[in-house]
């Protein structure tokens, strides 16, 4: 598809200014004083002023056309508004499923420097999860599935169900981004930045890049993931 054809599929920017304004139930994103609607026709209202301002900044950054691919916080807000309230139990199970095969539990078998780094850096975050949430995980060397303690998975599902819709949407997004519910919870708590969590989730790739360098495709992918990680970091900070 040509660039011109792609532009024709994107709506033109139809507003002069985007801002956040207090409304019943939170803070609305407003475009020239009018609140945009989600795909399910629900108003774009966030629970905090900071989050509404973050989302509004994405709308304000659009130029001639509205490009949803450049608006990750807006997309996540629509998910929170349209999906989470209707499917909280299913989303909590998604978060639990990531924990059942949490990336931090699968350690390399070699080389020794990588094994030591994973044990040290991933172990510290698993220790935090135990101290903060009482979650005990069982790490394993290799990629053979290691069942995690049922009590841990039950606790994670229960914790997920206590979260508000926007926080639960963020945790589910982050768990998928990092392949780790533990890293998602650590970013949510401010224990890790989004970039630090991303680096930990990519520890083997980072280690290999340090040894041998990184090709252009891997560099581009890392840059894309960094944008997503920065967004979810700011998302949780705006909800605190």
pLDDT one-digit tens code per residue, 84-96: 989 999 999 999 9
Report how far residue 54's alpha carbon sits from residue 64's, in angstroms, rounded to the nearest whole number.
20
3-class secondary structure, 184? helix
Report how far residue 216's alpha carbon sits from residue 204's, in angstroms, rounded to the nearest whole number.
17
Residue 171: predicted pLDDT: 98
State how far the alpha carbon of 236 is from the alpha carbons of 58, 155, 174, in Å: 16, 21, 10
Rounded mean pLDDT of the chain?
94
Among 9-13, 188-192, 200-204, where is mean pLDDT lowest?
Answer: 9-13
pLDDT band at 216 (very low <50, low <70, confident <90, very high): confident
Residue 8: predicted pLDDT: 53
Portion of the chain with pLDDT greater than 70, in percent: 97
Q: pTM of the prediction? A: 0.93
* CATH numbers and ranges of domains, the chain: 3-70 (3.30.2180.10), 88-239 (1.10.3580.10)
Q: Directed axis angle between helix 181-189 and helix 194-201, to 10°?
A: 160
Judged against a pLDDT cut of 70, whether residue 234 lies above it is answered with: yes
Residue 201: predicted pLDDT: 97
Mean per-residue pLDDT for 42-46? 97
Report how far residue 105's alpha carbon sits from residue 187's, in angstroms, rounded to the nearest whole number.
18
**Would you state the structure tokens that stand for residue 117, as one six-digit string?**
């780094």
Judged against a pLDDT cut of 90, whether residue 2 lies above it is answered with: no
pLDDT tens-digit readout, 115-144? 999 999 999 999 999 999 999 999 999 989
Judged against a pLDDT cut of 70, whether residue 3 lies above it is answered with: no
Q: Are 13 and 31 in contact (CB under 8 A)?
A: no
Q: Are 155 and 133 in contact (CB under 8 A)?
A: yes
Mean per-residue pLDDT for 64-71? 94
Judged against a pLDDT cut of 90, whether residue 215 lies above it is answered with: no
Residue 29: predicted pLDDT: 98
């Amino acid at each position: 598809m040509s660039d011109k054809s792609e532009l024709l599929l994107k709506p033109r920017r139809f507003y002069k200014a985007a801002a956040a304004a207090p409304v019943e139930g939170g803070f609305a994103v407003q475009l020239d004083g009018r609140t945009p609607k989600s795909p399910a026709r629900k108003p774009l209202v966030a629970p905090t002023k900071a989050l509404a301002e973050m989302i509004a900044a994405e709308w304000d950054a659009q130029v001639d056309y509205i490009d949803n691919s450049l608006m990750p916080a807006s997309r996540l807000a629509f998910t929170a508004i349209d999906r989470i309230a209707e499917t909280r139990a299913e989303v909590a199970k998604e978060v639990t499923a990531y924990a059942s095969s949490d990336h931090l539990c699968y350690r390399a078998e070699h080389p020794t420097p990588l094994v030591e780094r994973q044990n040290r850096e991933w172990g510290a975050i698993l220790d935090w999860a135990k101290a903060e949430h009482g979650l005990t995980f069982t790490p394993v060397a290799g990629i053979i599935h290691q069942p995690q303690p049922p009590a841990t998975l039950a606790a994670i599902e229960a914790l997920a169900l206590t979260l508000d819709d926007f926080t639960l949407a963020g945790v589910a997004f982050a768990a998928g981004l990092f392949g780790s519910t533990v890293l998602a919870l650590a970013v949510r708590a401010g224990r890790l930045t989004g970039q630090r969590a991303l680096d930990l989730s990519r520890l083997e790739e980072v280690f290999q890049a340090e040894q041998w360098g990184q090709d252009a495709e891997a560099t581009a992918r890392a840059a894309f993931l960094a944008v997503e990680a920065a967004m979810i970091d700011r998302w949780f900070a705006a909800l605190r």
